[in-house]
Amino acid sequence: MTIMIPAWVEGTLTPVEKLEAHVKGLRHKAVSVFVLDGDKVLLQQRAMSKYHTPGLWANTCCTHPEWDEDPLDCAVRRLEEEIGLTSIVPEHRHHLEYRADVGGGLTEHEVVDVFVAEAPQRLKITLNPDEVMAVSWMRFCELSAEVERTPERFTPWLRIYLQEHGETIFEGLSAVS
């Protein structure tokens, strides 16, 4: 299945195949979601079948909106598709841009809408094994420390989010306990 995502080609927003955007390092739209339970962050370990950064830990879910898809609709869709979360409506928290080498000759140059949602009680998680191999709750202060200690275990974008945008994304949470 070919997935067309919004990317800027010669200054114009154009539908581009997702893999092509990463091979060419094209600037393109993305969505990231963090589900929180107090000071705990729900992380996912990416499936080994992912074409980049397999097995690394990332935020709750992330993806690229389809052509003409609203970022909030995309965030809600991917929460359900990746980890089976329904009835969660995340709030827009931040808009950022980053560029990162994700290995295998691929580059992410993403313009990201970041969303945050508070986990409802009795959260039922159902993993899509094509996307996610495990999930884990980690206190924000422990996550920050672990990323500093063993950055190779985490996706480049999660490291960037924590190091460069953590105060805005995780407003009110302290990296130190």
Active site residues: 62, 110
Beta carbons within 8 Å of 150's beta carbon, 6+ residues apart: none
What's the N-to-C CA distance of the chain in angstroms?
45
DSSP class of residue 77?
H
Buried b / exposed e across 50-86, counting CB within 10 Å, b at 16+?
bebbeebbbbbbbbbbbeebebbebbbbbbeebbebe
3-class DSSP assignment, residue 114: strand
Q: How many CA atoms lie within 13 A of 41 on its CB side?
A: 28
d(CA 86, CA 90): 11
Instruction: Please state the separation of Cα 160 from the chain's center in Å.
Output: 11
